[in-house]
């Protein structure tokens, strides 16, 4: 049956010179196969493969057959797309639509025949922009001709007619019958790719274009029957459905571990969730931008570089809404290169990310587009976690806690392997346009209330955390259980992932914004058992900046504000050699203020040595102090006390107490300055691996500002003056 149809199809293709009704018949032969033929072309489902097959292989075979059976005419072998894409610069969703029509079979001979048909259609009917005039001439000479092009329709109110614009062929005003517009409303909202029969008729004195659309068949999905998806979903297990989604975006799940699969699924959340903000930073070559560029006609990838408020949000002069109003997803590639020409660009973006609306002029404008930020991490994750934060690749003007707080999730791109050929599938997946329409339809529903049926969120989550977790959970459920028939364990799995990706944002905010974002111990409570489950982020573990064990004499760690204005953890390493009392420093560069602070500590050391160690003579030695900025916070301008204690430690050959951090600073006269931000300083010391802290007595009144969870993890020693600080740091009573 299928072979006969294909033969007829070829015959009709050979008769392209026929006009009028024959043209209409021809286009129907090509297109209506989508509606009727796949059923005949699909091989019937066979019994399960032999039990001796490997489990993975058996599952793969079953999944292919299941997809062909449940999504007739909606699936395509993904390696065929790659083959055609290399030879024709046609959007993926156009190729896959045609492949779905002709190649939705399992047998190789039917696929081969179908490929011939697709290539023939592309050769004869796809118009390249550089051959536009040739195509126009062909239409004029033949009277009618069938082309594949993107069609956009607008109403010409002066002439009271609909006019079509064909992008590749360059026709701007082809007359379109009212009936065609009513049947395909998408033509009026941004345009769609179609197979069009264009006719040409010219009469002297006519006021409309000689070009007109005789017939039209959308190549993109004209409508979406979600009930079809819901029914099909019931036939798949959860694992099968996840694998099906991954194959639909071109990945091969058999070669991916469980956690990688979830990260790839998470990349798709912006397509199903309105106003969802997410970032993904990771090494190069992990396919971060692939899904936003190739897997949906509803997303736009903005490459790094300058952008404007007019382009992104609203153009005041033309009164046209920007990209956020025209696309479902706006993804920014290479975030390090994003620049706004307008000073208020970042502020408007913050407003939009928080509420889904923004103000321009007198108007408040709403839009539904999700925002995605992808970029590269140049250093290892371990280094960034210890020395800086995982949002460091963003440009300086964007490194703002209020901006990052609007992110609903942070996908760990470093956990996704670099793309290799074996990660791309050559099996069946949904055609791109069908997948895109399914995801777009899911934007109309929400599953954010699913959490409340089974769980309650912990008390460490503030309002923005709750919103982020609910949206991520809702997005995952829309992708995995679109029919809404989810179990408690389904929700638990999605909720755990949602808490992790939001906590990753919060952990970086804590490093950027300090104690304001202290509450990071995210958890959820089971409504039945009342058991509380805590969720961690894997990268927060690992080695501490302050190594365990007793350090060498003269090595000291302290916390202070750096030149950048951020609190940071620092290390001083001191070396003593025979000499005549000279003192030198390194690690400060040309920062005079930082060097002066160290000099203050050393001069106090010289002047008060008789109180510390009367028998020791510093004049018989030379001292060299090396400064290490452990968290790239800039040089410390409060290192006076640390300099004093380190100098005493190396002179007396006594090490600092194990895992101790020194806080506070002194003047040349010995006046002790209290710690400026005690809570944040102790939090940084804790994260660095300290278990002991040395505090000035003057800071005792600030202890209530430190969360009990932080304070109780330290053994605290107080000092009243600089000499007392030396004794306490060295453990001398």
Question: In Å, what is the CA distance from 96 to each residue of 194, 250, 442, 477, 533?
Answer: 13, 12, 21, 26, 44
Q: What's the whole-number mean pLDDT along residues 654-673?
A: 91
Query: Is the predicted pLDDT of residue 114 greater than 60, yes or no?
Result: yes
Highest mean pLDDT among 33-47, 485-499, 550-564: 485-499
How confident is the model over 584-619, as pLDDT tens digits? Answer: 899 888 888 888 989 999 889 888 888 887 667 777
- Round to whole Å and give the CA distance between 360 and 399: 24
Q: pLDDT digit string (tens) for 345-385?
A: 788 888 888 888 887 777 788 888 899 999 888 777 777 77
Residue 54 to residues 58, 60, 397, 428: CA-CA distances in angstroms?
6, 10, 54, 19
Considering only the C-alpha atoms of the chain, give the largest distance between any 2 of them, rounded to a whole number of Å: 115
Q: What is the pLDDT of residue 33?
A: 34
Alpha-carbon span 594 to 643, nearest angstrom: 11
Instruction: Read off the pLDDT of each residue in 381-407 and give the average, rounded to a whole number.
Output: 81
Output the pLDDT for position 612: 80
Let me know the angle formed at the C-alpha of 704 by 701 and 710, rounded to the nearest 5 degrees: 120
pLDDT grade for 216, boundaries at 50, 70 and 90: confident
* Residue 349 pLDDT: 86
| Whole-number pLDDT of residue 543 | 52
Separation of alpha carbons 269 and 442, rounded Å: 10
pLDDT band at 574 (very low <50, low <70, confident <90, very high): very high
pLDDT at 62: 76
Higher pLDDT pick, 126 / 86 = 126
d(CA 295, CA 155): 31
3 state SS of 497 = helix
- What pLDDT, in 10s, does the model give residues 313-353? 887 777 778 788 878 898 888 887 777 777 777 888 888 88
Question: Quick check: helix, strand or coil at residue 171?
Answer: strand
Residue with more model confidence, 204 or 18: 204
141, containing H or E segment: helix 132-142
Give dist(CA 632, CA 643) in Å, integer. Answer: 19
Antiparallel, parallel or unpaired: β 192-200 and 144-156: antiparallel
What does each C-alpha distance from 402 to 252, 445, 523, 566 come to in angstroms?
38, 29, 23, 16
**pLDDT confidence bin for 23, thresholds 50/70/90:** very low
Closest by CA position to 645, among listed 692, 591, 605, 593: 605
User: Residues 113, 6: contact at Cβ < 8 Å?
Assistant: yes
Contact between residue 318 and residue 290 where contact means Cβ atoms under 8 Å apart: no
Instruction: Indicate the pLDDT class of residue 469, thresholds 50, 70 and 90.
Output: very high
Provide the pLDDT confidence category of residue 158 given band limits of 50, 70 and 90.
confident
Buried b (16+ CB within 10 A) or exposed e, 270-297: bbbbbbbbbbbbbbeebbbbbbbebbbb
The angle formed by the CA atoms of residues 549, 552 and 557, to the nearest 5 degrees, is 75
Percentage of the chain exceeding pLDDT 90: 25
* pLDDT tens-digit readout, 517-561: 777 889 999 999 999 898 888 876 545 778 878 888 999 999 998
Burial environment of residue 633 by CB neighbours within 10 A (0 to 12, 13 to 18, 19 or more): buried
> What pLDDT shows up at residue 525?
93
Six-digit token pair at 415?
């956990």
Task: Give the model's pLDDT for residue 17.
Answer: 38
What average pLDDT does the segment 430-449 reach?
A: 89
Residue 622 has pLDDT above 50, yes or no: yes
Query: Which residue spans within 48-110 are E strands per DSSP?
Result: 75-77
Note the pLDDT of residue 122. 81
Per the prediction, the chain carries an average pLDDT of 81
Q: What is the pLDDT of residue 300?
A: 83
d(CA 404, CA 464): 11
Distance CA 591, CA 598 (A): 11
In the numeric block, the tokens 């609910």 are attached to 470
Q: Are 692 and 685 in contact (CB under 8 A)?
A: no
More reliable by pLDDT, 62 or 172: 172
Do residues 371 and 353 touch, judged by C-beta distance below 8 A? yes
The residue-averaged pLDDT of 258-263 equals: 93
pLDDT of amino acid 5 = 35
pLDDT at residue 180 in the model: 86
* pLDDT level of residue 573 (50, 70, 90 thresholds): very high
**pLDDT tier at 105, thresholds 50, 70, 90:** low
329 SS3 class: strand
Is the per-residue pLDDT at 58 higher than 60? no
The confidence score (pLDDT) of residue 694 equals 93
Q: What is the DSSP string of 237-254?
A: -HHHHHHHHHHHTTB-GG
Is 154 strand, coil or helix? strand
Reported as type and span, the H/E element at residue 99 is: helix 92-102
Highest-scoring range by mean pLDDT, 193-207, 218-232, 444-458, 701-715: 444-458
pLDDT at 480 over 60: yes
Confidence of residue 41 (pLDDT cuts 50, 70, 90): very low
The confidence band for 88, taking pLDDT boundaries of 50, 70 and 90, is low
Specify the pLDDT at position 401. Answer: 85
Give pLDDT, residue 89. 66
At residue 109, the pLDDT reads 78
Residue 562 has pLDDT above 90, yes or no: no
Measured in degrees and rounded to the nearest 5, phi and psi for residue 548 equal -70, 155
Q: What band does 298 get if pLDDT is binned at 50, 70 and 90?
A: confident
Residue 680 φ then ψ, to 5°: -65, -40
Q: What average pLDDT does the segment 644-660 reach?
A: 91
The pairing of beta strand 277-282 with beta strand 370-376: parallel
Q: Is 50 exceeded by the pLDDT of residue 399?
A: yes
């Amino acid at each position: 049956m299928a072979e006969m149809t294909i033969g007829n199809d070829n015959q009709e293709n050979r008769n392209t010179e026929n006009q009028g009704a024959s043209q209409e018949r021809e286009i129907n032969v090509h297109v209506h196969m989508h509606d009727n033929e796949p059923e005949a072309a699909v091989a019937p489902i066979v019994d399960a493969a032999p039990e001796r097959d490997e489990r993975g292989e058996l599952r793969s075979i079953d999944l292919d057959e299941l997809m062909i059976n449940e999504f007739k005419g909606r699936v395509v072998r993904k390696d065929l797309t790659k083959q055609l894409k290399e030879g024709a610069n046609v959007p993926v969703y156009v190729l896959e639509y045609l492949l779905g029509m002709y190649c939705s079979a399992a047998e190789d001979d039917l696929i081969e025949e179908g490929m011939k048909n697709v290539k023939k259609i592309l050769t004869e009917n796809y118009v390249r922009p550089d051959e536009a005039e040739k195509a126009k001439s062909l239409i004029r000479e033949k009277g009618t001709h069938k082309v594949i092009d993107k069609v956009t329709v607008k109403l010409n109110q002066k002439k009271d007619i609909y006019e079509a614009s064909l992008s590749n062929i360059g026709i701007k005003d082809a007359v379109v019958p009212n009936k065609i517009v009513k049947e395909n409303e998408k033509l009026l909202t941004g345009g769609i790719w179609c197979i069009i029969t264009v006719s040409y008729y010219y009469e002297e004195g006519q006021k409309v274009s000689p070009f007109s659309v005789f017939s039209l068949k959308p190549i993109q999905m004209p409508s979406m029957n979600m009930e079809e998806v819901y029914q099909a979903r019931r036939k798949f297990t959860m694992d099968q459905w996840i694998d099906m989604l991954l194959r639909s975006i071109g990945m091969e799940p058999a070669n991916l571990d469980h956690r990688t699969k979830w990260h790839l699924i998470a990349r798709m959340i912006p397509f199903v969730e309105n106003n969802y903000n997410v970032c993904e930073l990771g090494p190069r070559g992990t396919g971060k931008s692939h899904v936003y560029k190739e897997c949906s006609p509803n997303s736009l990838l903005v490459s790094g570089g300058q952008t404007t408020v007019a382009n992104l949000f609203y153009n005041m002069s033309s009164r046209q809404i920007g990209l956020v109003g025209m696309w479902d997803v706006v993804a920014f590639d290479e975030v390090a290169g994003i620049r706004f020409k307008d000073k208020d660009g970042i502020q408007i973006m913050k407003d939009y990310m928080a509420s889904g609306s923004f103000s321009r002029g007198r108007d408040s404008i709403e839009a539904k587009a999700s925002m995605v930020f992808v970029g590269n991490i140049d250093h290892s994750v371990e280094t960034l976690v210890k020395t800086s934060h995982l949002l460091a690749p963003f440009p300086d003007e964007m490194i703002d806690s209020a901006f990052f707080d609007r992110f609903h999730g942070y996908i760990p791109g470093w956990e996704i392997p670099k793309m290799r050929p074996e990660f791309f599938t050559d099996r069946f997946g949904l055609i791109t346009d069908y997948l895109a329409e399914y995801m777009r339809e899911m934007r109309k529903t929400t599953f954010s209330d699913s959490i409340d049926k089974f769980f309650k969120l912990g008390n460490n989550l503030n309002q923005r955390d709750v919103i982020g977790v609910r949206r991520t959970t809702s997005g995952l459920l829309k992708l995995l259980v679109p029919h809404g028939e989810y179990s408690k364990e389904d929700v638990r799995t999605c909720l755990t992932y949602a808490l992790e990706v939001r906590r990753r944002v919060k952990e970086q905010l804590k490093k950027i914004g300090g104690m304001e974002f202290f509450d990071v111990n995210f958890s959820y409570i089971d409504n039945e058992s009342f058991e509380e489950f805590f969720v961690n982020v894997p990268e927060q573990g690992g080695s501490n900046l302050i190594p365990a064990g007793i350090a060498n004499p003269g090595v000291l760690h302290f916390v202070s504000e750096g030149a950048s204005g951020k609190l940071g953890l620092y290390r001083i390493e001191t070396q003593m050699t025979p000499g005549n009392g000279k003192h030198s420093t390194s690690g400060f560069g040309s920062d005079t203020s930082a060097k002066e602070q160290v000099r203050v500590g050393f001069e106090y050391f010289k002047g008060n040595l008789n109180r510390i160690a009367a028998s020791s003579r510093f004049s018989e030695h030379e001292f060299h102090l090396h400064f290490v900025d452990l968290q790239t916070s800039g040089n410390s301008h409060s290192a006076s006390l640390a300099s004093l204690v380190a100098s005493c430690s190396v002179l007396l050959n006594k090490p600092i107490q194990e895992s101790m951090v020194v806080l506070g600073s002194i003047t040349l006269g010995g006046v002790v300055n209290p710690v400026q931000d005690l809570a944040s300083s102790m939090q940084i010391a804790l994260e660095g691996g300290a278990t002991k802290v040395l505090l000035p007595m003057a800071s005792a009144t600030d202890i209530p500002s430190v969360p009990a969870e932080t304070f109780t993890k330290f053994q605290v020693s107080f000092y009243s003056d600089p000499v007392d600080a030396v004794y306490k740091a060295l453990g001398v009573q």
